[in-house]
Amino acid sequence: MVEHGDPVARIVLALATLLVAGKLAGELAVRLRQPSVLGELLVGIVLGNLGIAWLDAVRTDPTIDILAGVGALILLFNVGVEATVGEMLEVGGSSFAVATLGVVAPFLLGWGVGAWLLPAASPYAHAFLGATLCATSVGITARVLHDLGASKRPEARIVLGAAVLDDVFGLMILGIVSAAIAAAASGASLSMAGVLRTAGAAAAFLFGALAVGRTIVPRLFAAGARFQTSVLLSLSLSFCFAMSWLATLVGLAPIIGAFAAGLVLEDAHFHDFTARGERSIDDLLRPLADFLVPVFFVLMGLRTDLRTLLNAEMVGLTLALTVAAIAGKQLCSLGVLTRGADRLSVGIGMIPRGEVGLIFANVGVGLMLDGRPVMSGAMFSAVVAMVVVTTMITPPALTWSLTRAGRARDSAPAR
User: Mind listing the pLDDT tens digit for each residue in 136-189?
Assistant: 876 667 666 766 677 677 887 788 778 777 777 887 788 788 877 877 777 666
pLDDT value, residue 414: 56
User: Whole-angstrom Cα distance, residue 201 to residue 171?
Assistant: 12
Burial 362-392, CB ≥16 within 10 A → b, else e: bbbbebeeeeeebbbebbbbbbbbbbbbbbb
User: Whole-angstrom Cα distance, residue 384 to residue 322?
Assistant: 10
Query: Which one has a higher pLDDT value, 6 or 375?
Result: 375
102 φ/ψ angles, rounded to the nearest 5 degrees:
-75, -10
Assigned domain for 241 exists? yes
Confidence of residue 84 (pLDDT cuts 50, 70, 90): low
pLDDT value, residue 64: 94
User: Whole-angstrom Cα distance, residue 45 to residue 325?
Assistant: 21
Task: Tell me which residue of 49, 24, 39, 21 sits closest to 391, measured CA to CA.
Answer: 39
Assigned domain for 414 exists? no
Pairing label, strands 372-373, 368-369: antiparallel
Assigned domain for 412 exists? no
- pLDDT over 60 (residue 8): yes
CB < 8 Å & 24+ apart, contacts of 239-244: 239/264, 239/265, 240/73, 240/74, 240/77, 241/73, 243/209, 244/73
- Report H helices in 148-191: 154-185
Q: Which domain holds residue 196?
A: 7-406
Confidence of residue 24 (pLDDT cuts 50, 70, 90): very high
Query: Which one has a higher pLDDT value, 371 or 43?
Result: 43
pLDDT value, residue 255: 82
Assigned domain for 195 exists? yes
Any idea what the CATH number is for the domain that residue 133 is in? 1.20.1530.20
9 — alpha (psi -120 to 50), left (phi > 0) or beta? alpha
Assigned domain for 173 exists? yes
Assigned domain for 2 exists? no
Query: What is the total count of domains within the chain?
Result: 1
Residue 141 near residue 159 (C-beta atoms within 8 A): yes
Assigned domain for 413 exists? no
Mean pLDDT of the chain: 83
pLDDT value, residue 195: 66
User: Whole-angstrom Cα distance, residue 14 to residue 34?
Assistant: 26
Assigned domain for 228 exists? yes
- pLDDT over 60 (residue 291): yes
Q: What confidence tens digit (pLDDT) does each residue in 66-82 have?
A: 999 899 889 888 877 87
